[in-house]
Structures are given as C-alpha cells and as structure tokens.
Structure 1
Amino acid sequence: MSDAFDRLKKKGIRPTVPTRDTSLVKKENTEMLNDEMTEFSHLKKTQKQDFIPSEGLQDNAAIAHKEQQSDLPETVRRTIRLEEDIDTELNAFCTAKKITRDTFIEAAFMVCSGNQALMQEIVEEAKKRYQQRKQAGEQRKFQTMAKKINT
C-alpha cells in the first residue's frame, strides 16, 4: 500500500519552468526612456512652445478626423428575430434595392414617424404579432415541460 502511495507522491512533482519577463519595456531600455523624458522636462517654457514634434501634426489630423466623425450619427448593434418567411422576403427585397436591412428599418421608422395614421396601423399590427409570439412561446414552454415529465 505504501508503495502505491509513494508512486502517486512522486508523480505529483512536476518540473518547474522559470518565470518569464512579461513587462512591456525591457529593463535595459528603461534607463534610456527615463533619460529622454528628463531631457524634455528641463527645457524652458518658451522652448517647449516653439517645439512641435511631427507626432503633434499627426495628432492634429486625428483630432480633425474625430471632429468630422462627431457629426455622423452613432449606431447601435442589435439582433432582431423575424419570422422565417418575412426574413427571406426582407433579404430578397433589400438585395434587389441594394440597401441593408438596418437602413430599411431606419427609413421605414422615419417615414412612419411623420405619418401618425400609418404609425398607428403598424403599432396595432405589432401588438397582434406580440401576442401571437407570446402564446407560441408559452406553447413551446409547455411542450418542453411535458417532454421532460414523460421521460
């Protein structure tokens, strides 16, 4: 019995691997980086203002690009569930018109927002569909529960 215990004890000993350096900056380069930082920190204020590095020009271009992008509307990613037939028809329609489903939904909402009668009709249809999906979900839940009970 003690022989088996000794074998298990020996098997539990694993070789060790030396730890590796996961730092982003190697130790040799840190002194050089610190020297560069202190070199600029000793400049006079007037010299600092006159000094414009090439990276600063790139930063200005990046800021201008961000300002242009701020004018653009922000989008949000969502997933939607559609009936299989409607999904197929919508994909075919959007492909034929060379638009995306997202832009079609956005445009449809914008047009409906301006037409209250159309919006009301759509809301009523949506409520009917919501009730149908709710009932279908409950039926699927009961079917699943019945399967689990019978097995």
Structure 2
Amino acid sequence: MSDVFDRLKNKARPTVPARDTSLAKKENPEKLNDEITKSSHSINEEEKNLPIPETTKDNASIIPQEQQADLPQTVRRTIRLDEDIDTKLDTFCNTEKITRDNFIEAAFLACSQNQELMQEILKEAKKRYHQRKQLGEQRKFKTLEKKINS
C-alpha cells in the first residue's frame, strides 16, 4: 500500500512556464506608473466645466452614517431542502414576487410571535431531522460496504 503512495508522491508533474499577466508592456515601468498616476489624479478640462448635480451637492443619494448603523446586517448561508419542497417554495416565492430569504425571515418572525405554531413547527422539524440523520447513516454504511467489498 505504501508503494502506491510512494509512486504518487515521486511522480514528476508537468510544469508550465510562467506567463506574463500584466496588462501593459513593461518597457519602462517608472514612466508608465507616472503616467497612470498623473491621469488618475488630474481632472479633464471638460469635467471642470460641468455643473455638479444637485444630488451630489446635498448628499441626498448617500445614506447618512446614523442610518447605516440601523440597517440589518445579512449573512449568507446555504440550505438543503427536500426536492419537492424546494420546487414548491420556488414556485410560491416566484408567484408572490419575494425571495426565499425574505419568506424564511418573515416565517420565523411570525412563528416567534405565536408559540403554539412554533411548537408545531419544531415538532415537524425534529421529525425531519431524525429522518435525514438516519438516511445519512444508511448512505454512509452503504459506502463503507462498497469500499470493503471492492
């Protein structure tokens, strides 16, 4: 068994020469950097004469710092759903023109205000959890069986 690992470790891997990923030719990098800096820091004559839009003047389009602190922070998660439920949830959300995330948030908030409904949902959730746990263990044992028999 270790002979196989030794062969894999010692196997020569093909190499590829490094490629030039720069966007500009490197004829004179100092001159190029100076030109980039000058152009990025200078304002065109046309831009100087343009009127400043009202939204920029009064910052109406920018959210004030105090309001930014009040906005909820979101977290990205991945969820796995039963195939039928996934299809039904997609159809429902598309019909109602909402996202899954909004529906899940609203459903949780509604359930947290109704303890009887929350207990009913928890009962169903725990039942589904145990079913999935058993299915996962069955798949694991089938995989182990295949590895042992081959």
Query: TM-score, normalized by length of structure 2?
Result: 0.59
Point out the structure with the larger helix share.
1
Q: Count residues in correspondence.
A: 110
Return closer, same or farther for 1:29/1:105 CA change in 2, 3 Å cut-off. closer
Return structure 1 stretches of 4+ with deviation > 2 angstroms.
20-23, 25-30, 68-71
Structure 2 unaligned residues grouped into runs of 5+ = 1-16, 18-25, 39-55
Percent of pairs with identical residues: 62
1:1-151 to 2 correspondence within 5 Å?
26=33, 61=59, 65-67=63-65, 68-151=67-150
Change (3 A) 1:22 1:139: farther
CA distance in 1, matches of 2:114, 2:89: 22
CA offsets 1:8-65 (integer angstroms, 9 cap, x no match): xxxxxx9xxxxx6889x947999x9xxxxxxxxxxxxxxxxxxxxxxxxx7x949x62
In our comparison, the structure showing a higher alpha carbon Rg is 1
The CA distance in 1 between the partners of 2:140 and 2:29, in whole Å, is 51
Distance of aligned partners of 1:61 and 1:118 in 2 relative to their CA distance in 1, 3 Å threshold: same
Mapped to 2, the partners of 1:94 and 1:28 lie a distance apart of 52
